[in-house]
Structure formats: structure tokens, C-alpha cells
Structure 1
């Protein structure tokens, strides 16, 4: 999964493509290099980043989605990185117009906007759930992550949602102050325990703060080798998909 951020607030500026031409070039390069899924996000989810309105998120997403749908092959899945139904709805309509397929990627595990639950059920959309209980990424241990995933999966399936459309993301990163690098390392080491839920596991480690802390590298631009190493370990430990 290749990351296409159109949020200038994002912590790693190398992943920001808020210029239409740069967005096109980056998307096509990711596909050429083997990417099968493109993750489009217009809102930085880093806890310390500047907050934007839902209207601003929509105004960024709609033109970017139009650009992507015009240039990518039909077999490439577009991941819509949002916590809000209105954003999912707008991008879904564009995808439908161009005969493209989308998946919703919600870092709040469907906690932020309850209306998004009914929307993905109604439209039969696949979803990526990132481990969260009250706010994005607030779960610290693999045991708590599994417990909360079970709860969310149960809510969805009780409403008639097909559980085979679910992908799980354990939520690596300093999402909350108390989540120190040791918690991230323990989650990566125990990724195989998530397999009890019988769902594909997505891992998002690229240039995250725990890599910087371990290697004493403050600049995300210089965390490439650490990203490769930690990703290889995560895949060995059970990850099926890599967001990078």
C-alpha cells in the first residue's frame, strides 16, 4: 500500500503530494513499483498536528480522488483514509463514476463517526480497522488490541456486515503520550497473536517515532533503513500488508 498524503500537516513531508502533478507522478510510480493499493489521506492523524475541519478534508479529497480515478488501472484499490462518513460518501461517489474500487481506512476503529458504520455496511465496502478504543491508537498491548478488535468486529457482524471484508491494523506509533517505543516493539514482536482473529494484518511502520527513538534519528527523512528492518520483522511475524 502506497501512501499519498495531501495533508501539508503530515509529519513526513516526503509523503505529501498536494500538487496535482506530483500526485499523478507519485501514484503511477507506486503502481509501477508493485503497489496494489493507494492510501489517500487529506487529514494528518498525528496527535500533535494542526486540526482541520471536515469541510477542509472534503475539499482536499474530492479533486485528488478525481485525479487518481482518471489515471490508475481498474485493478488498483484506493484506500480512503478518513474517520468521517461524509468524506467516505464523496469519494465513493467519485469511485463509482469511474468504475474504481475503494476501501475505507479508519484509524479510529469506527469510533469517531458512528454514521460511517452504517455507510460501509450499506455500500458493502471493505474496511481497515486501526486498533483504538476511545481515540486513535490508544491501545498499548496486543491483548487489549485483540479485545477491542473483537468488540468492533462483533458490532459490525451483528449488523449483517461480512467479516471477510475486514483488515486489521494494530496501530504502531506514538498516538498517545504513554505509548513509548517499548509498546510498539512488543506489538511487533507479538503480531502473530493477531492471527487468532483470522483477518489480514496491515502494518504501518514507515519512519515512525519508535524507529527514531531506537536509532537516535530525529529526522524522519533519515529513518529509511530502520523502516525496512522493522517492516521485514513485522512481515516475518505475521503482517500481510505493508503501508509505506
Structure 2
């Protein structure tokens, strides 16, 4: 997935780090540290050297309870810095909720507008529509002065996801290209520590929206709550660890104070593997329970996948019932797709999958014939191969409806390791229906 930001574009298959540059006297963890013009430029250069691909310039503190600053003051703090960094060839983001500041920053060379208020202001949408910059759409309940008073959600993950879905859709309706949009669940913005933890442990739900997802976790108060670290500046190591966890769950843009620590942590990111599961043979006690028996076998396979070494299931699609493919004289299938992070090499992973198939009574007498469990590697990040043992990406994946539909449920807009996008255009077999 490509995130387009004016003349810059980012391949979000691998995490992209955004360095935080607060040119404010009162930000929650670094207020005043980079307030001067020269100090700001020096710090930005340092973050780029450490691995930042973008620099996010903010001139108004949005910490809980923060008082608003005048637009004139925000302009005076940010625009000279934005202009200077842009002239040095950096991709600069302006962190603002004011349309006039965003407009001035874009004119000064900014390539991203990072709006904590989620582009709810029509004037901010107009600025976005009149430019080609990237957009970060964030969720916040209330505003910085009131957001932590008493945030209440019936379902924090579902409500934030739906809000971001709707705001991004509204931007597309306004004529803004989908590939320009990034979504940010807004950890700590109108959420308690417990609500934020629930949010960041479910980043896969936001990846399902089909936009790049930002992990803006750095030094947040929930880390103090979770790790018992009171001083924000002492949270850099746990911030980096949380960023790694978020990226394994599907985040692709990481906003960080300590870029060096974050880049170091992200080196441990495991590749993802997309697995296809299928079953059309199940022993059942009573007639009419065949579908439930097939689902039970797939759930048993999922349970065994949970025990693979150095591996973690990130997301599981709905179950789909599908027509037989290739060998037609057999019962209908139940299928699903799993997204996994793994340290197992592809051929080693294949051996584990075959062992699970065998443990569940897989019989291989007829090619594409009846089976208790079929486990295929559909895609393995950055890995393309074609030999007698294993071909990746799976050569028949995109012609199979029972693969394409659940895969697009998990990863809309996914591009396989061989750079082929996943769409329904090539589907010819195995028509599938969500259960």
C-alpha cells in the first residue's frame, strides 16, 4: 500500500517513522526543548539521520487540559520551521487543527496535514482538496481542554474504527484520493488508559479499513499507567516496544519522539504470512451438522497454529462457505484466511502446516479432492519463489473466490509479494458466501 504525500510517497509494507518536532513551550514531554528556530532544525536533522522519513511539526500543545493558542502564535512557531525543513528536502508534516495554519504550511512546503480533529472542519477539508498532500485523520473525543474529563464508550474499538471509516469516506466523497489518507485511532485523546490499551491491542481492526494506520503511542500517559513510569521522557524504550507491537498488528506509520530507539525496535518486526484454510470433510454425530463440524475442524487447526514457535496470529477472517473448485464431485467447503506474523522461514512454516493437516486426518488420494483440513501459504511478505516444494505467492490464489473474499476482508487493497494487487477480477472458481 502506497501513502502519497505531495511529491513524496511511502511504501507501507515496512514501517515508516515520523519524528515529532514540537516547537512549543508546553508539550507534555518535550515542551521548550526545540522551541527556538535553530534548535528545531538541529533536532529535525538528527531525527532524519536516525531514520525518520517524515518530520511532524507542531505549534500547539494538545496534551490533556492544554489551553488553545492563537492562530498567529501557531503560525509564528511553525511556518519558518516548515519552510526551512522543506527546502532541505525533508517530508514535513504540519500537526494542526486550524485550516489557516494548514494552508500556510502547505504553501511553505509541507507534504502532510496531521489533523487531531479528524478533518471535521469544512475549511480544513477545503485545504486538503486544494492540495495533493497526505492526510492523517485522527479520532479525538472532545477537544484537548476537555477530552479527558470523562470519556465514555460502549465499544471503544468499534466506535473509533467506525468514526475513522466514516471520516475517511467523507474525504473521498469530497474528491480526495484514497491513497492520500492515513488513519490514526488517537491513543490517549479522549480515552482513559484502559480504553487506550484496548485500542492499541486491536490495531488489526483499523488495518481492516484499508488505509495506512498511524501508531502515535510515544510517551503517552497509558504507558505510564501500564508500565509504572511516571516521567514521560523515561518511556522511550516501552514506547518503541509498543510501536513494534502495533506494527505487527497492522500499523504502518510510527510517530515517535525518540527515533533512534524506535528504529532499533522495529528491526525485530517479523514478516507476515497469509494462510488459507479449508475443510469439507467432518465427522458429525447428527445429520445436518456438517457445516458446524467443518468449522470445528478449522477451529482446531487455528488452535494448533497458535502453538507454532515464534509466531502469532494477528487476525482471522469470517468463515465462508464455498463451492468446490477443480474437482467438483464433492461436498461444499468452509474456508477462512489468517494473517500471521512469524519468524519461521517459508519452507519451515510449510512443514508445520503439513503436520497440522496430518494431525487432523488429511487424506491426499485425489488432487483437489475432499479433505479434513487444507492449509496453504497464500502470501509471505517480501518472499517470491517457484520450485517443486513451494511457490509463493500461491499461484492460484487470485482465481479462488474463497481466498480473495476473506483476504480482502482482512487486508483491503493488499498487494502480494510479487507486486500483484488482490482484487476479484481474476476469480473463476470456488464461489464463496460469508457465513
Shared fold (TM-score, shorter chain, > 0.5): yes
Say whether 1:119 aligns with 2:133. no
Equivalent residue number for residue 98 of structure 1 = none
Secondary structure of 2:61's partner? coil
- What is the match of residue 108 of structure 2? 94
Question: In the TM superposition, what are the counterparts of 1:32-71 in structure 2 within 5 Å?
Answer: 32-70=49-87
| Structure 1: gaps (5+ residues) | 96-100
Match of 1:160 among 165, 175, 186: 175
SS state at 2:182 partner: strand
CA RMSD of aligned residues (A): 1.9
1:5 is aligned to 22
4+ aligned runs moved over 4 Å, structure 1: 136-140
Structure 2 spans left out of the alignment, 5+ residues: 1-17, 257-435
Q: Displacement of 1:187 after TM fit? A: 1.0
The separation in 2 between residues aligned to 1:194 and 1:69, in whole angstroms, is 30
Residue 59 to residue 156, structure 1, CA distance change in 2 (3 Å): same
Aligned CA distance change for structure 1 residues 55 and 146 (closer, same or farther; 3 Å): same
Larger Rg: 2
Determine which structure has the larger strand proportion and give its number: 2
2:93 to 70, 79, 82: 79
2:207 maps to 1:195: yes
Q: Does 1:23 align with 2:40?
A: yes
Distance 2:56 2:171 in 1: 23
Query: TM-score scaled by structure 1?
Result: 0.88
TM-score by length of structure 2 reads 0.51
2:159 is matched with 144
3-state SS, counterpart of residue 67 of structure 2? coil
> In the TM superposition, what is the alpha-carbon distance from 1:139 to its structure 2 partner?
7.9
Q: 1:15 to 1:223 in 2, by over 3 A?
A: farther
Greater RCO, 1 or 2 (C-alpha within 8 Å, sep 6+)? 1
| Cα shift readout 1:117-157 (whole Å, capped 9, x = no counterpart) | 01111213220001235546768511111111122122212
1:14 & 1:8 partners in 2: Cα distance? 4
Q: How many pairs align?
A: 232
